Amino acid sequence: MKYLFFILFLITLGGFLLFYNFKYLPLEEKIIKISDENLLWQKEVVELKQKLAEYENKDKARLTYTFEFRELFWNEYSDTLNPAGEARLKSIIPSLKENNNKVAIVFYGEDLELPPNLKKKFPTPYHFGLNRALVVFNYLINMGFPKERLLIMNDCEKKNKKNVLAIQVLNY
Residue 30 has pLDDT above 60, yes or no: yes
Based on the fold, state whether residues 148 and 113 are members of the same structural domain.
Answer: yes
Same domain, 125 and 161: yes
70/41 same-domain check: no
Better pLDDT: 33 or 109:
33
Residue 148 and residue 75 share a domain: yes
132 shares a domain with 101: yes
Same domain, residue pair 19 and 81: no
Check pLDDT > 60 for residue 59. no
What angle do the packed helices 83-97 and 125-142 form, to 10 degrees?
60
Summarize the confidence of residues 69-90 as an average pLDDT: 88
Helices and strands of the chain, counted as H and E runs = 6, 4
Residue-by-residue DSSP string for 32-90? HHHHHHHHHHHHHHHHHHHHHHHHHHHTS-SEEEEEEHHHHBSSTT--SB-HHHHHHHH
Which spans in 98-124 are helix H?
Answer: 116-121
Looking at the structure, tell me whether residues 79 and 161 fall in a common domain: yes
80 lies in the same domain as 144: yes
Shared domain for 105 and 150, answered yes or no, is: yes
pLDDT (mean) for 150-157: 78
Residue 154: pLDDT band by 50, 70, 90 thresholds?
confident
The whole-number average pLDDT for the span 15-32 is 84
Question: What confidence score (pLDDT) does residue 139 get?
Answer: 92
CB neighbours of 81 closer than 8 A, spacing ≥ 6?
72, 73, 89, 135, 136, 139
Say what the pLDDT of residue 166 is.
79
81-94 pLDDT, tens per residue?
A: 999 999 999 998 88
Number of domain units in the chain: 2
> Are 106 and 153 a contacting pair, CB within 8 Å?
yes
Q: Is pLDDT above 80 for 60?
A: no
Residues 16 and 88 grouped into a single domain: no
Is residue 95 scored above 60 in pLDDT? yes
Give the structural domain span for 46.
1-58
Query: Among 70-79, 127-136, 149-158, whose mean pLDDT is lowest?
Result: 149-158
Burial class (CB in 10 A: 0-12, 13-18, 19+), 113: exposed
CATH number at 119 reads: 3.30.1330.60
pTM > 0.85:
no
Indicate whether 96 and 48 sit together in one domain: no
Q: Are residues 32 and 99 in the same domain?
A: no
Decide which of 58, 79, 107 is a domain's last residue. Answer: 58
pLDDT range class, residue 142, cuts 50, 70, 90: very high
